[in-house]
Amino acid sequence: MKTLTYVDALNVAISAVTDADVVAKLTALRDQTAKRNSADRKPTKAQVANEGLKAVVLSVLTAEPATVSDIMTRSDELTALSNQKVSALVNALVKEGKALKVPDGRKSTFCIA
């Protein structure tokens, strides 16, 4: 079942209402909501910083699988970060298809794709 969004709900309301003034208000509200939800926003400071850090992580990844702790020791820039932060960066690279997650028993290891 598809999730009903505000834009979808406003489209249904616009089609059900006959009063021209109400239709105009609902159309303006729908356009505002669609504009706010559009994907053409610029990235936040944190997202820009994370892109730089992901590049560092990608540069230290090798074909040999390594744990997040091992990856952190390969770069001074990553050593300053927390284990959770580096793990999140590596998992983001996995989602982008630039790295591979290799399950190794209870721990996960990562290598370059």
- pLDDT tens digits for 56-99? 999 999 889 999 999 999 888 889 999 999 999 999 999 999 99
Strand partners, 66: 110
Q: How many domains does the chain have?
A: 2
Per-residue pLDDT, 90: 94
Give the CATH number of the domain where residue 70 resides: 1.10.10.10
Is residue 1 one of the residues assigned to a domain? Answer: no
* Cα dihedral across residues 70, 73, 77, 78: positive or negative: positive
Residue 55 sits in which domain range?
Answer: 45-112
| CA distance linking residue 92 with residue 102, whole number of Å | 15
Per-residue pLDDT, 39: 66
Is residue 72 one of the residues assigned to a domain? Answer: yes
pLDDT tens for 14-62 read 999 989 999 999 999 999 988 887 767 788 899 899 999 999 999 999 8
* Cα dihedral across residues 75, 67, 65, 86: positive or negative: negative
